[in-house]
């Protein structure tokens, strides 16, 4: 465990990666960006698995991992890397896989047994300890991989799209589990992901990489709800409306704007209590635009100001401002003309509640 910041300065030509960033101790940072942006390469450099060429410097507080001729090997950095492939040792049982790092740390047998018991219980695989990896499902194997990584008690945990190869329902359950495990802030975590729900639900901070450079960074909520880069604005194409739970499946922001939806599968048992930080995610196609409030009683109706109108195929995406958050609607060009949608005009947005997913977000 550490209370020291991880300071990374990577400057290499192949693959191109020029990154300078301070990862705050005890916090989780999401790293997002297009394919080929350098996200996984950055994790491998931090872990010491990719040396490359260039004047890179990596330090944890006063401890230098890499600088000039100094190069600390991966096994001495106190770093665990978990990817989308569990990569368990096929000849070892679940218990032996989880015990691998504590045993290598020359702990006593009693200490190893205690640590294994603690982590297999934490990831809910205690009943599988005698099985081999080929007897596990994909979700079970990834749970064991998480336990193996955390049993090493790493100072830094690197997650490279750990849910990508899993079914949606399995990924949702693992996301909920990881949220609990990361809540103690006992380690610095860096997570590569393509899913804005993962970023909002697990990470307090975010870094946007594009072509090997950081183009945006800051609070996850601030970057994803009011993006400043082209990529973060288009991340998965979803709207992200952040606030707090007012009722069981309603998110309300500081201005009183409300979005109603359905609670996601990654929500802990018992649901979300009032006041819980949460996000409503929905497609721009679920948003209708009006000049005046429509008849009836739509469950979600937001007053907004148009920021811009841009093409997307044969449709237009209307970006609006709702209490400082960006909410986009996808409409036909005929609707743009009929409504006279231009920058600065006041509009009313109606969002289909059946297409809104409500999930908890990380607490900064």
Residues 6+ apart with CB under 8 A from 313: none
Confidence label for 42 from pLDDT (cuts 50, 70 and 90): very high
Question: 141 and 86 in contact (C-beta within 8 Å)?
Answer: yes
Among 1-10, 13-22, 344-353, where is mean pLDDT lowest?
1-10
Determine how many CB atoms are found less than 10 A away from the CB of residue 76.
9
The percent of residues above 70 in pLDDT, for the chain, comes to 93
Question: Is residue 167 very low, low, confident or very high in pLDDT (cuts 50, 70, 90)?
Answer: confident
CA distance 24 to 5: 5
191-243 pLDDT tens trace? 999 887 788 889 999 999 988 999 889 988 888 777 665 566 666 578 889 89
Per-residue pLDDT, averaged over 274-278, amounts to 87
pLDDT at 244: 92
CB atoms within 10 A of CB 337: 10
Question: Which whole number is the average pLDDT over 122-129?
Answer: 94
Nearest-5° Cα angle at 206, 319 to 286: 30
Complete domains list, the chain, with CATH: 6-235 (3.40.50.300), 238-360 (2.40.50.100)
pLDDT of amino acid 169: 78
Confidence band for 31, pLDDT divided at 50, 70 and 90? very high
Q: What is the pLDDT of residues 177-201, one digit of tens each?
A: 888 888 888 899 999 998 877 888 8
The number of CA neighbours under 13 Å toward the Cβ of 11 is: 8
Which two tokens mark 165?
Answer: 């190869």
Rg (CA), the chain: 22
Of 49, 47, 56, 43, the residue nearest 13 (C-alpha): 56
Report the predicted TM-score, pTM, of the whole model to 2 decimal places. Answer: 0.80
CA dist 145 and 98 (Å) reads 8
Question: 215: which 2 tokens?
Answer: 């183009």
- What's the first-to-final CA gap in the chain, in angstroms? 19
Q: What is the pLDDT of residue 34?
A: 84
Q: Is the pLDDT of residue 272 over 90?
A: no
Residue 322 has pLDDT above 90, yes or no: yes
DSSP 267-304: SPTT---TT-EEEEEE-GGGEEEESSPPSS--S-EEEE
Q: Token digits for 183?
A: 């809540």
pLDDT tens profile 57-115: 999 999 999 998 899 999 999 999 998 888 999 999 999 999 999 998 889 999 999 99
Lookup: tokens for 357:
């997913």
331: pLDDT confidence band, cut at 50, 70 and 90? Answer: very high
pLDDT digits (tens, 9 = 90+) for 135-146: 999 999 999 999
């Amino acid at each position: 465990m550490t209370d020291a910041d991880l300071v990374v300065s990577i400057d290499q030509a192949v693959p191109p990666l020029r990154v300078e960033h301070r990862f705050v101790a005890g916090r989780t940072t999401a790293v997002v960006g297009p394919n080929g942006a350098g996200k996984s390469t950055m994790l491998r450099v931090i872990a010491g698995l990719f040396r490359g060429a260039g004047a890179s410097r990596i330090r944890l507080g006063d401890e230098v991992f890499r600088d000039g001729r100094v190069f600390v090997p991966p096994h001495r950095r106190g770093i665990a890397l978990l990817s989308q492939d569990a990569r368990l040792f096929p000849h070892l049982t679940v218990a032996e896989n989880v015990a691998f790092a504590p045993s290598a740390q020359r702990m006593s047998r009693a200490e190893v047994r205690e640590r294994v018991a603690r982590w297999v219980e934490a990831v809910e695989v205690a009943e599988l300890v005698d099985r081999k990896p080929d007897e596990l499902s994909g979700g079970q194997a990834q749970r064991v991989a998480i336990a193996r990584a955390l049993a090493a008690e790493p100072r830094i945990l690197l997650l490279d799209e750990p849910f990508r190869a899993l079914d949606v329902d399995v990924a949702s359950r693992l996301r909920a589990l990881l949220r609990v495990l990361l809540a103690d802030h006992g380690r610095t975590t860096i997570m590569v992901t393509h899913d804005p729900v993962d970023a909002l639900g697990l990470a307090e901070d975010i870094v946007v990489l594009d072509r090997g450079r950081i183009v945006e960074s800051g609070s996850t909520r601030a970057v994803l709800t009011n993006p400043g880069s082209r990529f973060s604005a288009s991340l998965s194409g979803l709207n992200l409306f952040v606030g707090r739970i007012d009722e069981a499946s309603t998110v309300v922001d500081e201005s009183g704007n409300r979005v109603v939806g359905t609670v996601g599968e990654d929500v802990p048992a018992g649901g979300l209590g009032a006041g819980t930080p949460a996000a409503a995610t929905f497609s721009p196609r679920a948003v209708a635009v009006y000049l005046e409030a429509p008849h009836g009683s739509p469950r979600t109706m937001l007053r907004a100001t148009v920021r811009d109108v841009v093409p997307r195929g044969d449709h237009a995406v209307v970006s609006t401002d709702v209490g400082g958050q960006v909410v986009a609607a996808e409409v036909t060009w005929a609707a743009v003309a009929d409504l006279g949608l231009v920058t600065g005009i006041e509009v009313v947005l109606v969002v289909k509640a059946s297409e809104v997913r409500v999930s908890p977000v990380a607490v900064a």
